[in-house]
Amino acid sequence: MSNTLVAKERKEFKRSVLTKLRKEGNIPAVVYGRHEEGKSIAVRNVDLLKVIRENGRNGIISLEVNGKPETVVLEDFQWNPLNHEILHADFLHINMTTEIYAKVHVELIGTPKGEEHGGVLQQSLHELNIKAKPKEIPEMIEVDVSNLELGHTVNVGAIRENYSNITISHDDDEVIATMLSSRLETENKTEEEQTPTTNEAKEPQVS
């Protein structure tokens, strides 16, 4: 497993240059933060995907820019909703003792008791906004739903104690998951199907 990502500094910013860069398998990016001047860089698409796959979305990255290693995290990225390729990436310089903001995937674990009575589990929050030191950011936040009965919910307040080393930036009463009766779930799905959606894009595949 490696968290090293090699980058080259960019000096040209014309659209034609960016198009050529992407066709050659590179991703235009920027690195900024920690009172340092931002730099425009480029990284290999396959290398970035490998680092995300091996270290997680919020993993600490050793970014080598012109041979000089810099400690960063992947702050944000934009992707093409048609082919799921990353179009641009933002890297943030970090101090290992200073808290930073991050988004963490929510993973539901366990089989709800309500399923024995025909219930259907509905997940409302798929990621949580948190604040923590870089090494304390979890790869995912696990939420045990095995005790959920019909009509019951699990909210943010119920998991806060399990993750006391980080700050979860949500109200305690925000619902993570609900155990619905199959009838209510069918009605909700029908309403969703009748409502037009404008953004059904998924994040790029890294597996």
Query: Do 126 and 172 belong together in one domain?
Result: yes
- The CATH number for 27's domain is 2.40.240.10
pTM of structure: 0.76
Query: Do 147 and 181 belong together in one domain?
Result: yes
Query: Do 105 and 187 belong together in one domain?
Result: yes
Q: Is residue 203 part of a domain?
A: no
Please state, in angstroms and rounded to a whole number, the distance separating the CA atoms of residues 99 and 129.
Answer: 13
Amino acid at 114: G
> What mean pLDDT is predicted for residues 80-108?
91
198 contact partners, CB below 8 Å, separation of at least 6: none
- What is the distance of C-alpha 186 from the center of its chain? 29
Domain count, the chain: 2
Q: Is residue 112 part of a domain?
A: yes
- Reported confidence tier of residue 1, pLDDT bands at 50, 70, 90: low
Mean pLDDT over the full length of the chain: 87
Q: What is the extent of the structural domain holding 146?
A: 101-194
pLDDT digits (tens, 9 = 90+) for 108-137: 999 999 999 999 999 999 999 999 999 999
In this prediction, residue 200 carries a pLDDT of 45
Q: Is residue 69 part of a domain?
A: yes
Q: Do residues 135 and 60 lie in contact, with contact meaning Cβ atoms separated by under 8 Å?
A: yes
Q: Is residue 201 part of a domain?
A: no
Among residues 94, 129, 147, which one ends one of the domains?
Answer: 94
Query: Do 153 and 173 belong together in one domain?
Result: yes
